[in-house]
Amino acid sequence: MPVPRLGIICIGLILLWQAVVWITQVPPYILPPPKSVVLALMDHGPELLGHAGITLIEILAGLTIGTIFGAGSALLMMISRGTKHWIMPVLVISQAIPVFALAPLLVLWLGYGLSSKIAMAVLIIFFPVTAAFYDGLRSTEPQWLELARVMDAPPHAVLREIRIPAALPALASGLRVATAVAPIGAVVGEWVGSSAGLGFYMLHANARMQIDMMFAALALLSAMALILYFIADAGLRRLIFWQTEQEGTVR
């Protein structure tokens, strides 16, 4: 998405926010006007950025580990049909359980440090990555597989040379979804128990009735998620140059 259009959307959303404040006369302790949030962002910038850094580390670590696990499970399911019957139900269950219910458990097992938040992020992105990549691996063009069979290619070569490259665009769309939802995992983890991060900051601000600061943290979090998404999107397009737009990936 070109930068100007993004800017227009952001400005539009802020105007809408201001309009809601004007029209509904909602008091500032429930929804602060954009101006006071911007002021809070400026007043507490360095502190907020420090917390944002912690959350960013959690998101990036969660994305890395979640991608490795997710791609690994998809490959495993592809190679051995037997494992599919075991992994798939676990995957679905992991999605059916609300992460909010699991978060306290993870925090108690893994402690109040970074690892419980990373685990939350991993948990939340595991499914989109696995499902997308597995679907990609399964839906290779039949003609290509036919060609490999005619040429007598061994199974590992078919996987390496045909199935995986053909599935990478699908994996990429899974990763885009993962990038967009990973911050939720990290913040849910922080919400349950932490001593740093944007989620921690929001808890604090809320308890002290500093609603403008809470929304400032929220704005920063959204900005972070947005930037991450666009970086991931641009990077993936460059890496997977054979992906064509009409393949129906998430755009």
Partner 1 sequence: MTLLLWVVLTAGPTSSATASNELNVMLDWFVNPDHAPLFVALEKGFFTERGLKVKFMTPSNPNDPPKLVAAGKVDLAVSYQHQHHLQVDKGLPLVRVATLIATPLNALVVLADGPIRSLADLKGKTIGYSIGGFESVLLKVMLGTQGLSLKDVKLVNINFSLSPSLFTGQTQAVIGAFRNFELNQMDIAGKPGRAFFVEEHGIPPYDELIMVAHRNRVQDEALKLFVEGIEAGVQFLVNHPEESWQLFIRGRDSLDDELNRRAWIDTLPRFALRPGALDHNRYMRFARFLKNQGMIGRIPTLESWAVELGE
* Of positions 46, 143, 151, 195, contacts partner 1 by CB under 8 A: 195
Least Å distance, CB 206 to partner 1, is: 6
Q: Which is nearer to partner 1, 106 or 172 (CB)?
A: 106
Q: Which is nearer to partner 1, 71 or 216 (CB)?
A: 216
Closer CB to partner 1, 16 or 157, in the complex = 16
Min dist. Cβ of residue 217 to partner 1 (A): 12
207 neighbors 28 (Cβ within 8 angstroms): no
- The CA R_g of the chain, rounded to the nearest whole Å, is 21
Separation between Cα atoms, residue 166 and residue 77, nearest integer Å: 17
Helix axis angle, 211-239 relative to 34-43, nearest 10°? 80
By CB under 8 A, is residue 193 in contact with partner 1? yes
Stretch 45-104 residues interacting with partner 1 (CB under 8 A): 104
Give the residue from 175, 182, 172 showing the smallest Cα distance to 238. Answer: 172
Q: Does 24 bind partner 1 (CB under 8 A)?
A: yes
Determine which residue in the list 3, 23, 30, 96 makes contact with partner 1, applying CB under 8 A.
30
Tokens of 196: 């740093």
Q: Under the criterion CB under 8 A, does residue 206 sit at the interface with partner 1?
A: yes
**175 or 198: CB nearest partner 1:** 198
What secondary structure does DSSP assign to 160-191, as a single string?
Answer: IIIIHHHHHHHHHHHHHHHHHHHHHHHHHHHH
CA-to-CA distance for 52 and 197, rounded, in angstroms?
Answer: 6
Selected from 130, 140, 194, 249, the binder of partner 1 by CB under 8 A is: 194
Confirm or reject binding of residue 250 to partner 1 (CB under 8 A): no
23 binds partner 1 (CB under 8 A): no
**What one-character-per-residue DSSP string does 10-60 give?**
HHHHHHHHHHHHHHH---TTTS--HHHHHHHHHHTHHHHHHHHHHHHHHHH
Which of 208, 223, 227, 235: binder of partner 1 (CB under 8 A)?
Answer: 208
Q: Which of 131, 188, 192, 221 binds partner 1 (CB under 8 A)?
A: 192
**Min. distance of Cβ 6 from partner 1 in angstroms?**
25
Count of residues of this chain found to bind partner 1 when the rule CB under 8 A is applied: 25
Rounded to an integer, what distance in angstroms lies between the CA atom of residue 197 and that of residue 217? 10
User: How far apart are CB 57 and partner 1 at their closest, in Å?
Assistant: 17
Neighbours of 229 (CB within 10 A): 18
Does 109 sit near partner 1 (CB under 8 A)? Answer: yes
* Tokens (6 digits) for 123: 């948990």
Residues in the site for partner 1, rule: CB under 8 A?
Answer: 24, 26-27, 29-31, 104, 107-109, 111-112, 191-195, 200, 203-209
